[in-house]
Structure 1
């Protein structure tokens, strides 16, 4: 079978390797689609705490080709997405019911070989059945949907509240979608007008265009925020950019006794006043991976097929991986989720033409 291995910085080598054999407790999944995210770009650029060479791909879907006995009643031919995170089950976070931050956490496609391969052996408990009617190329995005849902759940969102979502990339958009489903009034903020148009389609009641060269919010935006929150500020802020100034804005804008969830990731430092957090008595919460929420993420995508497809802005064939990564690395391009169509999808006629730009 064919696999794509990232062997060095911005270098992919296609290799013929032996197909895996069926192991006890595992299933063989014929991979149909792999979605790419920022982590994939960092690995490809050799700017991530993993060792090269590695087979990438941690957001993916496919069809079960072989499986032994299993309590989940999954059968050969079933369409599945896969939960890529592995954990020890013994460390303190795992014992606390928080395996998404296991001290020995692993991730298929990030710390061990992943889904950019035709056939993959996967532990049976990692299989997530795809809802009827949800296309497999959309199901590949169940993992980012789960990350957004984890952030919202960490924030204890409640119907009738007002939330500010900073950043309308894929995670911010999916958080907006889920918050709207929960009956939360969402204000979305981003630097790109096109992304804010999508945020409205994903349920945002109000959008705020951020000019990075000027203070945010401006006078008009402050008045709109006051009007939407009775002058108190949003009770919940989801920070989904990873930009230091965005977290600073979140702390400044959130209501007293409010909650901030930091889901955007960056190694950069933040400058904060030591008084704002205690004076407002804020809850500042981190959010990483998810607590096995991919089935919930798939259900969210299935409830909103139009919005789910709007996330997918580009599709590439398996042999087009270098071009897909180069597009992601070109920060001037408008890119949402890129989906890679694997040979099985091409054989099934479910692949888009190579290098297709998808329009919603």
Structure 2
């Protein structure tokens, strides 16, 4: 089988390897599509905790080639999306069902386990989720990032009729917007890139805000819009999906009293908060990581919104040009959503 392995900083080695043999409880999967995220870019740039060499790829889907034994809901030939996190089952987080925050997790293509930039992988059967007929296979790898957005939104305990502010219109912010609006929540989305701001309306945002880094946010006009939408109280929910310290500061400042702020954006940069703000506003500041096996729910959401899913994937490459896929991710001259690597025979 063909494999693309990241062997050093910004260096891929294309290899031929034997098709892996499934172990007990594992299925053999022929990989169809891998989509890349910011973590993948950091690994490729050797700016992440992942030791190299590593076969990357944790957002993926494929077709079952072999099962260890007959299964009640899965069969050879089924199209499936994959939950890439392998949790330990013994730490405190696992013991309370928060497997998404396992202290000793492994992740395909990120930690310990080779990923899906290979024609075949073996996957535990319980990590496979059927792809609905209404969801095209080339979009099913989006189930993993969508599940992360679902997890973040669920952490905020949204109610129909509430108002939410989503800070950041990258893939996770857009997918969070899509999910929130599907639940009946009124969403205002904000970003520093005008093209992304406009894109958010396609995902259900009722209003959008351009964040000008040279001006105070929100501007007087933007503050009026937020007040008009929320009766002057501020949004009940703010999803911070940028990882920028200033954005988290904005989230805490703008959220309503007794509101909920979910931080799903990640960076190593420190944040300074007033010790007065959290208790006086009586708000909840909530972290969100990965998802609690929400791949199936993500597949259902995407199957009802295939147009948005298709729009999210802005670039596609065959496995032979995977290096170009990584280079495209850091482009500053064009709008880049999700970048996909196609492993089907038709790829060229």
Alignment TM-score, normalising by the size of structure 1: 0.95
Aligned residues: 347
Alignment match, 1:11:
11
Contact 1:60 1:115 in 2 (8 A): yes
Alignment of 1:149-168 (within 5 A): 149-168=150-169
After superposition, what is the alpha-carbon deviation per residue over 1:157-190, rounded to whole angstroms, capped at 9, x for unaligned? 1101000000011000000000000000001011
Distance 1:27 1:103 in 2: 26
Distance 1:253 1:134 in 2: 37
Using the TM superposition, give the Cα deviation of residue 202 of structure 1 relative to its aligned residue in structure 2, in angstroms.
Answer: 0.7
Alignment of 1:112-127 (within 5 A): 112-127=113-128
Alignment match, 1:275:
276
Alignment match, 2:95:
95
Alignment of 1:155-194 (within 5 A): 155-194=156-195
The 3-state SS of whatever aligns with 1:140 is: helix
Q: Which runs of 5+ in 1 are unaligned?
A: 355-360
Using the TM superposition, give the Cα deviation of residue 2 of structure 1 relative to its aligned residue in structure 2, in angstroms.
Answer: 1.2
After superposition, what is the alpha-carbon deviation per residue over 1:212-236, rounded to whole angstroms, capped at 9, x for unaligned? 1111000000111100000000010
Q: 1:223 to 1:46 in 2, by over 3 A?
A: same
Contact 1:160 1:184 in 2 (8 A): yes
Distance 1:127 1:56 in 2: 19
Distance 2:216 2:119 in 1: 49
Using the TM superposition, give the Cα deviation of residue 128 of structure 1 relative to its aligned residue in structure 2, in angstroms.
Answer: 0.8
Using the TM superposition, give the Cα deviation of residue 24 of structure 1 relative to its aligned residue in structure 2, in angstroms.
Answer: 2.0
Contact 1:164 1:236 in 2 (8 A): yes
Contact 2:134 2:304 in 1 (8 A): no
Distance 2:194 2:214 in 1: 16
After superposition, what is the alpha-carbon deviation per residue over 1:133-174, rounded to whole angstroms, capped at 9, x for unaligned? 311110011000000000000000110100000001100000
Pair 1:45-2:69 in alignment? no
After superposition, what is the alpha-carbon deviation per residue over 1:288-329, rounded to whole angstroms, capped at 9, x for unaligned? 000000111111110001111010000001111111111112
Distance 2:272 2:118 in 1: 43
The 3-state SS of whatever aligns with 1:148 is: helix
The 3-state SS of whatever aligns with 2:12 is: strand
Contact 2:32 2:61 in 1 (8 A): yes
Contact 1:70 1:124 in 2 (8 A): no
Which aligned segments of 4 or more residues in structure 1 are displaced greater than 3 angstroms? none
Pair 1:195-2:196 in alignment? yes
Alignment match, 2:308:
307
Distance 2:72 2:96 in 1: 25
Alignment TM-score, normalising by the size of structure 2: 0.98
Contact 1:33 1:137 in 2 (8 A): yes
The 3-state SS of whatever aligns with 1:289 is: coil
Using the TM superposition, give the Cα deviation of residue 70 of structure 1 relative to its aligned residue in structure 2, in angstroms.
Answer: 4.9
Using the TM superposition, give the Cα deviation of residue 71 of structure 1 relative to its aligned residue in structure 2, in angstroms.
Answer: 4.2
Distance 2:229 2:145 in 1: 29
